[in-house]
């Protein structure tokens, strides 16, 4: 196991970013379900719920670059 030392402000910044992403994902899920309730594939909503639950539990997703993030959301 490797130990990484971060300055406190960087750590707090990471936590703040995670909270923002969690909130954005929840808002996206609500907006999508409101706009197209009949057109949404239940599997897609289940995937969003699974991601949101993982973020709430403290689990995260790691991306190497911006292209991986875009690919992840396209494949949802």
Per-residue pLDDT tens over the stretch 4-39: 888 999 999 998 998 898 888 888 888 877 777 777
Q: Distance between CA atoms of 48 and 40, rounded to whole angstroms?
A: 12
pLDDT (0 to 100) of residue 34: 79
Mean pLDDT of 38-59: 77
Q: For 27-52, b where at least 16 C-beta lie within 10 A, e where not — what string?
A: eebeeeeeeeeeeeeeeeeeebeebe
Please state the pTM of the whole predicted model. Answer: 0.46
Distance of CA 32 to the CA centre of its chain: 15
Query: Are 21 and 13 spatial neighbours (Cβ–Cβ below 8 Å)?
Result: no
Q: How many residues does the chain have?
A: 76
């Amino acid at each position: 196991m490797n130990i990484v030392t971060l300055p406190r402000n960087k750590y707090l910044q990471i936590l703040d970013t995670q909270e923002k992403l969690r909130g954005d994902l929840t808002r996206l899920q609500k907006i999508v379900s409101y706009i197209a309730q009949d057109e949404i594939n239940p599997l897609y909503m289940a995937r969003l719920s699974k991601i949101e639950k993982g973020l709430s539990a403290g689990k995260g997703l790691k991306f190497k670059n911006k292209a991986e993030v875009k690919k992840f959301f396209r494949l949802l």
